[in-house]
């Protein structure tokens, strides 16, 4: 059986400078050199800095690059947007789509599907974010919310995308679900999309909790926001993930 990949996705959101992106890419690449090849690390800096990150890395780098969103269309009159082909052109292999911060700004399930489809068509791996709000969690509706967010994704080819389960209330809050809750959500996602689907967890992941989360059943990796912003933070997460 093929050893399964563990994904570490570093989402910088709207943070950093060109110089910080270059230094970070080089330092994280160094940290990955000794890591097992089953560890796949994707760095998602702000779009304007993707080229800088790409030029700071050797073409054979272990550290891969990802966008933070892409548009459903391949080109056209969409001011401020970025196409999946453009991300591919500057060296990306993946792109986050449907992050809750974008859903909060109006992105619907249908739009998320369109963006994911565009990513697949351009040869990128979409990392599709889903997750319930605090009110939905407290009402015990997590499984129903996930099923409804995932329904339309079944049309995408198996293996062409990754799901990131990110409870909205866990993002940037320092709170995480219990491992049992993470396992239950991952099981729900695999029931809807198939047991082979790679499912990551995201929301207040750090060097202290990443090992326990990665050891949870059905978890194929993590999406990290704030704890990925510093070089030392990411180095410690890589060390913990390898341990």
Determine whether 158 is exposed, middle or buried from the number of CB atoms within 10 Å of its CB (0-12, 13-18, 19+).
exposed
218-221-222 Cα angle (round to 5): 120
Choose, by CB under 6 A, the member of 225, 234, 237, 241 that binds ligand PGA: 225
How many CB atoms lie under 10 A from the CB of residue 209?
17
Min separation Cβ 170 and ligand PGA, Å: 6
Tokens of 231: 């070089």
Min separation Cβ 177 and ligand PGA, Å: 12
Q: Are 87 and 42 in contact (CB under 8 A)?
A: no
Q: Which is nearer to ligand PGA, 107 or 166 (CB)?
A: 166
Tokens of 240: 């913990």
Q: Is 71 left (phi over 0), alpha (psi -120 to 50) or beta?
A: beta
223 lies in the site for ligand PGA, by CB under 6 A: yes
Of 168-207, binders to ligand PGA (CB under 6 A) are 171-172, 202-205
11 lies in the site for ligand PGA, by CB under 6 A: yes
Residues 6+ apart with CB under 8 A from 121: 74, 84
226 lies in the site for ligand PGA, by CB under 6 A: yes
Q: Which is nearer to ligand PGA, 36 or 172 (CB)?
A: 172
Residue among 93, 88, 81 nearest 43 (CA): 93
How many CB atoms lie under 10 A from the CB of residue 78?
11
Facing residues of 200 across strands? 164
Give how many residues touch ligand PGA by CB under 6 A: 13
Q: Given the DSSP bridges, would you call strands 199-202 and 125-130 parallel, antiparallel or unpaired?
A: unpaired
- 166 noted as active-site residue: yes
Residue among 241, 167, 149 nearest 204 (CA): 167
Stretch that binds ligand PGA, among 18-26, 29-37, 152-160, 224-232 (CB under 6 A): 224-232
Task: Report the residue closest to ligand PGA, judged by CB.
Answer: 225
- 212 noted as active-site residue: no
Q: Which is nearer to ligand PGA, 174 or 243 (CB)?
A: 174
66 lies in the site for ligand PGA, by CB under 6 A: no
219 lies in the site for ligand PGA, by CB under 6 A: no
Min separation Cβ 224 and ligand PGA, Å: 5
Q: Which of 71, 99, 101, 186 is catalytic?
A: 99
Stretch that binds ligand PGA, among 60-68, 132-140, 186-194, 219-227 (CB under 6 A): 219-227
68 lies in the site for ligand PGA, by CB under 6 A: no
Which residues are designated catalytic?
A: 99, 166
Binding site for ligand PGA (CB under 6 A): 11, 166, 171-172, 202-205, 223-227
């Amino acid at each position: 059986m093929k050893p399964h990949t563990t994904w570490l996705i570093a989402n910088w959101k709207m943070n950093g400078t060109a110089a910080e992106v270059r230094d970070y890419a080089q330092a994280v690449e160094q940290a990955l050199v000794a890591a097992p090849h089953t560890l796949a690390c994707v760095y998602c800096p702000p779009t304007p800095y993707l080229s800088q990150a790409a030029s700071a890395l050797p073409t054979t780098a272990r550290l891969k690059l990802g966008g933070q969103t892409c548009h459903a269309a391949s080109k056209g009159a969409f001011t401020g947007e970025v196409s999946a082909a453009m991300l591919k052109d500057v060296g990306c292999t993946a792109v986050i789509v449907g992050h809750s911060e974008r859903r909060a700004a109006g992105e619907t399930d249908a739009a998320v599907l369109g963006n994911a489809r565009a990513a697949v068509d351009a040869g990128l791996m979409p990392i599709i974010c889903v997750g319930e709000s605090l009110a939905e969690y407290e009402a015990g509706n997590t499984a129903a919310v996930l099923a409804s967010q995932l329904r339309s994704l079944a049309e995408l080819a198996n293996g062409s995308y990754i799901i990131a389960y990110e409870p909205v209330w866990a993002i940037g809050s320092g709170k995480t679900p219990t491992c049992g809750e993470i396992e239950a959500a991952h099981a729900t996602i695999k029931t809807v999309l198939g047991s082979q689907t790679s499912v990551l967890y995201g929301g207040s992941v750090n060097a202290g909790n990443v090992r326990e989360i990665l050891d949870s059943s059905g978890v194929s990796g993590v999406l990290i926001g704030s704890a990925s912003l510093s070089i030392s933070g990411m180095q410690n997460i890589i060390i913990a993930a390898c341990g």
